[in-house]
Structure 1
């Protein structure tokens, strides 16, 4: 049965959505889908910062839409009073041919930041990708993937600084750790959300989790580790 959200423009509707997103990164499943677009469209404006989980989710979907669009089908979500989502709303935005479009694309690249602070390295990488798209008219896969992990501690007494240090202590030649942030889970517990980039043929994320992040001594801090998003770059 499809989940239904009502009155997303009201405090009660936003509170229900905020509670729903407390333990979820997306509306349904483990990747952005049409369900996220449906709910995103149902919001007339960016949610207030007091709705922590909705704001985190909304900003992430906004970033995805600017970067590459959302293609997942989803499970079917109903937002009372919202318009249906057309295929064009979720397709990958085409690269613009005009100077104005190119300038807009570059501005969007500068604004994209899933964790609130874009590094110079990330900006340079975004500019290089944009230049490659303009030169070829088509974005080519690099053989790499960008991954977002949720790393959860055992309890609220876990030292999250030591947890992150333990996670980043895992080093592989074709594994590169990126930006991170702490996100509330509930009851005073926070989880670590961390980005990483891998070379697909050389590093397995499942192996990274099972053989490294959930093994001693790292599992003294880490209770579980889940793949939230996995995107080819």
Structure 2
């Protein structure tokens, strides 16, 4: 569903955007999309540090545009008093062959840990699957890397117990990885955690609905969102 926002180049618009991003990582979707680019372009520059949530989001999108670009379609966003240029919808993808030193300079804690699967990768995967089928061999189960956003109820939620509740979920084909706490404002932090799953054995939606957002885990977890999903 499309959203309508006030012009973020004004103080009142920035304040509204900061409140909007308090419980969201992106403007309209579970991953960076063209809607984020539209709002990013509407800002006259980096926002003041007093707008904690806008700064977090702005730095994240800025880093993505520098490193790998954004390809998600989003759900549509309208900004009062701002008409995005046509070119904004399809930003150029940064050169992936840039020197390692430059990549280190652009390092950002909020950069997505997983990227979009390219057309070349999809084509190669399809060709491998066709080759396996033609040879009569059984295709091995694929794996995926998933980044989750785990939000607490409030600033009094015990984040250590929240992570323990998440990691206590065990099932065949599921492996929990690295995690970190990300400030979202007003003393509240959310948990970002990676996991690797065997596609044929684990459904991420089922994992969330039947394990992470029901008792006893929901005592420490308000909601759980998929930030990134990448085949490996």
Which residue matches 1:86? 87
Contact 1:149 1:226 in 2 (8 A): yes
For residues 198 and 61 of structure 1, do their structure 2 counterparts lie closer, same or farther at Cα, with a shift above 3 Å needed?
farther
Measured in 2, the distance between the counterparts of 1:107 and 1:171 equals 39
Shift of the alpha carbon at 1:215?
4.7
Measured in 1, the distance between the counterparts of 2:10 and 2:62 equals 21
1:189-233 superposed Cα distances (whole Å, 9 cap, x missing partner): 543233334343443212322343235543332233222333446
For residues 77 and 207 of structure 1, do their structure 2 counterparts lie closer, same or farther at Cα, with a shift above 3 Å needed?
closer
Which residue matches 1:102? 98
Which residue matches 1:73? 73
For residues 190 and 179 of structure 1, do their structure 2 counterparts lie closer, same or farther at Cα, with a shift above 3 Å needed?
closer
Which residue matches 1:160? 159
Contact 1:66 1:112 in 2 (8 A): no
Which residue matches 1:98? none
For residues 211 and 39 of structure 1, do their structure 2 counterparts lie closer, same or farther at Cα, with a shift above 3 Å needed?
same
Superposition CA RMSD, Å: 3.7
Contact 1:71 1:91 in 2 (8 A): no
Shift of the alpha carbon at 1:174?
4.6
For residues 107 and 176 of structure 1, do their structure 2 counterparts lie closer, same or farther at Cα, with a shift above 3 Å needed?
farther
Shift of the alpha carbon at 1:91?
5.5
Query: Secondary structure of the residue that 2:39 maps to in structure 1?
Result: helix
Instruction: Tell me the TM-score normalised to structure 2 length.
Output: 0.69
* Equivalenced residues, count: 210
Contact 1:175 1:199 in 2 (8 A): no
Which residue matches 1:49? 49
For residues 55 and 196 of structure 1, do their structure 2 counterparts lie closer, same or farther at Cα, with a shift above 3 Å needed?
farther
Which residue matches 1:111? 106
Contact 1:115 1:181 in 2 (8 A): no
For residues 57 and 197 of structure 1, do their structure 2 counterparts lie closer, same or farther at Cα, with a shift above 3 Å needed?
farther
For residues 222 and 76 of structure 1, do their structure 2 counterparts lie closer, same or farther at Cα, with a shift above 3 Å needed?
closer
Where structure 2 has 5 or more consecutive residues not aligned to the other structure, the ranges are: 126-141
Which residue matches 2:9? 9
Measured in 2, the distance between the counterparts of 1:157 and 1:222 equals 12
Decide which structure has the larger Cα Rg and report it: 2
Where structure 1 has 5 or more consecutive residues not aligned to the other structure, the ranges are: 96-100
Shift of the alpha carbon at 1:34?
1.0
